[in-house]
Amino acid sequence: MAPAFLGTLIFIILPSLCSFLLSFTKWNLLSPPVLCGLKNYISILSNPLFYKVLFNTIFYSLSISIFGVIIPLLLAVIIDKKIKGADVFKTMYFLPYITPMVIIAIVWEWILDPQRGIVNQLIFRSQIDWLYNSNLAMYSLILVSIWKNIGYNMILILTGLQGIPSSLYEASKLDGAGEIKTFFKITLPLVSPMLFFVMLITMISSFQIFDLIYLMTNGGPENSTNVLVFWIYKNAFEYFKAGEASAIAYILFLIILILSFVQWKLRKKWVYNE
């Protein structure tokens, strides 16, 4: 008990309080921090790059949480029909979720390589710069992230689907409703709380994306894939502006807190009990 609480205090609570204080200081990580009031926040909010980074983060998270729910939903509905080998499917789809991001990044970089990558060689037969073009890079990252998340989200949605009583399906069948009608009239409304929940947790984790960006695009080209956590890292450990980095971290914290709060409120309302 005592070790857990002390550890949480020293390594989680204390740092987050320090981070808050640091966000009001100028600090290069070496000399002592100097108080500067709200200057960091003002300089961030007046920096056009901040809005670009914020937009990128929101765009990235929103795309993943929308498509990262629609695709797994369709797959979950198919798997739920108890087709043969559903378990093998589940394992296969879950694999990307537990694979280290470094591996995902280098394998996809190889697949999307402009000259030698299999996507360009086999399908497009031209040298498309999937990752080195500021119009495309973000979409490529979103694609990779959706691929990574499909399995996990699908399993969450499956637990939601399995909670729907089969008598409802039977009744709808008796009434002569087709598969598509049943999906929209019964499955979708009943599973929608779970879908919304999955969307929220996907969004919360996407707001914290760092490794994929660091490894695949380094925030580029021209900051087109720069996101909040990557920017925090750059400010703190490359530009040595730890005060400003802490301020950005707190802006991120605020966003996550709001999302977590929504998730928590909604969970009480409708998420299943084991």
Partner 1 sequence: MVFPFLWMVLTSFMEINQIFSDKISLIPQPFIIDNYIHVFTKIPLTGYFINSLFVATLTTAGQIVISAMAAYGFSRMKFPFRDSLFFIILATMMIPPQVNIIPLFFMMSKLHWIDTYQALIIPGLFGGFGVFLLRQWFKSMPYELEESAKIDGCGYVRTFFQIILPLAMPAVATLGIFTFINTWNSFMWPLIVTSSDAMRTLPVGIAAFKGNFVEETQWGQLMACAVISVIPVIAVFLAGQKFLIKSMIIDGMKD
Between residue 14 and residue 53, which ones bind partner 1 under the rule CB under 8 A?
14-16, 18-19, 22, 29
List, in sequence order, every beta strand (DSSP E) within the chain: 25-26, 34-35
106 binds partner 1 (CB under 8 A): yes
| Residue closer to partner 1, measured from CB, 138 or 155 | 155
- Largest Cα separation within the chain, whole Å, is 76
Angle (CA) 250-251-253 rounded to 5° is 60
Task: Work out which of 214, 220, 221, 223 binds partner 1, going by CB under 8 A.
Answer: 214
Q: Is 127 helix (H, G, I), strand (E, B) or coil?
A: coil
| Residue closer to partner 1, measured from CB, 138 or 229 | 229
| Residue closer to partner 1, measured from CB, 18 or 171 | 18
For the bound state, the minimum distance from the C-beta of residue 189 to partner 1, rounded and expressed in Å, comes to 21
| Residue closer to partner 1, measured from CB, 184 or 272 | 272
In the block, tokens 């320090």 appear at 18
73 binds partner 1 (CB under 8 A): no
Task: Work out which of 53, 77, 155, 203 binds partner 1, going by CB under 8 A.
Answer: 155
Task: Work out which of 170, 208, 222, 239 binds partner 1, going by CB under 8 A.
Answer: 208
- Listed ranges 54-62, 76-84, 101-109, 170-178: which one lies at the site for partner 1 (CB under 8 A): 101-109
Spatial distance between the Cα atoms of 123 and 127, rounded to a whole number of angstroms: 11
For the bound state, the minimum distance from the C-beta of residue 24 to partner 1, rounded and expressed in Å, comes to 14
| Residue closer to partner 1, measured from CB, 55 or 110 | 110
Residue 160 corresponds to which tokens in the numbers above? 């939601």
Task: Work out which of 50, 97, 139, 169 binds partner 1, going by CB under 8 A.
Answer: 97
Please, which residues have CB within 8 angstroms of residue 243's CB and are 6 or more apart in sequence? 22, 23, 24, 25, 26, 27, 33, 36, 40
83 binds partner 1 (CB under 8 A): no
4 binds partner 1 (CB under 8 A): yes
Interface of this chain with partner 1, residues 238 to 257, rule: CB under 8 A: 242, 245-246, 249-250, 252-253, 256-257
| Interhelix angle 188-207/48-80, nearest 10 degrees | 140
- Listed ranges 40-48, 61-69, 134-142, 147-155: which one lies at the site for partner 1 (CB under 8 A): 147-155
| Residue closer to partner 1, measured from CB, 137 or 194 | 194
Spatial distance between the Cα atoms of 16 and 240, rounded to a whole number of angstroms: 19
Single-letter amino acid, residue 249? A
**What is the per-residue DSSP string for 161-227?**
HHTS-HHHHHHHHHTT--HHHHIIIIIHHHHHHHHHHHHHHHHHHHHT--HHHHHHTTT-STTTT--
